[in-house]
């Protein structure tokens, strides 16, 4: 058992600890919302055609930001969906996704369950969209979890991004949740550095040596590195 887990489990005997888990790259291999959006395009030819028609706009947007064309593609994928239809689509995709067991990180899920069994307060803090990630966790049988995630809002033509819960925004979201420090945090990228920095024990999941050095430089201290499958 990695040092971060042992410390958290031991401390759970004397008092509840707060343990944070990223989702994409930590509990699942890949990016769940990307898989959902890709499936939306796969099932709808006209959305793909509309994206092709928008290619000149996407190229112009790419000159200014990498995020702008991505947001446009997401809005096309969600075009025509209201709250209820989106929730139904996200939950249906979550149910189908969990059937692909190889997509999920067995070691990560086991670690999360051990923290729960130890009495730790476990919070999933992710850039994935809230309805989708909540549905996936429920389908996996992971209950009594707090989830802080990205959010969508209803627009004139369908659901659209409202809050992208990445980087420093994770820390902001945690602060809104009443938390400014935590005992253990699991992340997988440099984007998780703000969240990892405020943890007593920062754990990098499946990070390369180069990434580990970058994260340690950002944190100004050493971290625990684990290989999960």
Instruction: Tell me what percent of the residues of the chain surpass a pLDDT of 90.
Output: 91
Please report the pLDDT score of residue 170 as a whole number: 98
Please report the pLDDT score of residue 10 as a whole number: 45
pLDDT < 70: residue spans in the chain: 1-15
Please report the pLDDT score of residue 12 as a whole number: 41
Total-model pTM: 0.91
Please report the pLDDT score of residue 13 as a whole number: 42
DSSP for 131-200, written as a single string: HHHHHHHHHTT--S-EEEEEEEEE-SSBEEEEE---THHHHHHHHHTT-S-EEEEEE-SGGGHHHHHTEE
CA 62 – CA 64 distance, rounded (Å) = 5
């Amino acid at each position: 058992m990695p040092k971060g887990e042992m410390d958290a489990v031991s401390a759970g005997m004397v008092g509840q600890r707060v343990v944070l888990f990223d989702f994409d790259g930590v509990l699942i291999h890949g990016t769940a919302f990307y898989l959902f959006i890709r499936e939306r395009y796969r099932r709808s030819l006209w959305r793909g055609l509309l994206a092709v028609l928008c290619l000149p706009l996407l190229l112009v947007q790419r000159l200014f930001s990498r995020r702008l064309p991505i947001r446009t593609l997401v809005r096309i994928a969600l075009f025509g969906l209201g709250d209820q239809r989106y929730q139904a689509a996200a939950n249906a995709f979550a149910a189908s996704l969990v059937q692909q067991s190889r997509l999920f990180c067995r070691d990560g899920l086991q670690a999360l369950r051990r923290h729960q069994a130890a009495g730790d307060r476990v919070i999933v803090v992710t850039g994935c969209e809230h309805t989708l990630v909540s549905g996936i966790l429920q389908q996996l049988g992971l209950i009594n979890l707090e989830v802080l995630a990205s959010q969508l809002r209803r627009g004139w033509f369908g659901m659209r991004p409202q809050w992208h819960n990445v980087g420093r925004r994770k820390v902001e979201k945690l602060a809104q949740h009443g938390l400014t420090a935590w005992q253990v945090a699991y992340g997988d990228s440099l984007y998780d550095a703000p969240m990892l920095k405020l943890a007593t024990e920062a754990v990098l999941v499946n990070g390369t040596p180069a990434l580990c050095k970058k994260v340690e430089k950002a944190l100004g201290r050493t971290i625990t590195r684990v290989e999960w499958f």
